[in-house]
Amino acid sequence: MFDYTGALFPEGLTPEQVYYFNHEDIDDIVFKGYSDIDEERFVKLYKKWLGSIESSIKKGKTE
């Protein structure tokens, strides 16, 4: 499992051009899109859930 999936813009997600990476691979955030209170709540709940199952998930490695 990887932390993030990326795609080229404006093509979007295509099987031939999907990029996987982890949090530690990010040096700088250039732009963060729209975020509201619902997303902030989701992120908080997701991180809590992920922390409870993290030991059972094998993390993907990038080159």
pLDDT tens digits, residue range 2-47?
A: 989 999 888 888 888 899 999 999 999 999 889 999 999 999 999 8
User: So what's the pLDDT on residue 16?
Assistant: 86
Which residues, in sequence order, are bridge partners of residue 8?
12
Kind of pairing, strands 18-21 and 4-7? Answer: antiparallel
For residue 52, being part of any structural domain is answered with: yes
In a domain, 34, yes or no: yes
Residues 6+ apart with CB under 8 A from 7: 13, 14, 17, 18, 19
Residue 4 phi/psi, 5-degree rounding, is -140, 155
Residue 62 within any structural domain of the chain: no
Q: Is residue 63 part of a domain?
A: no
Check whether 54 has a pLDDT greater than 80: no
In a domain, 15, yes or no: yes
How many structural domains compose the chain? 1
Q: Which domain holds residue 46?
A: 4-56
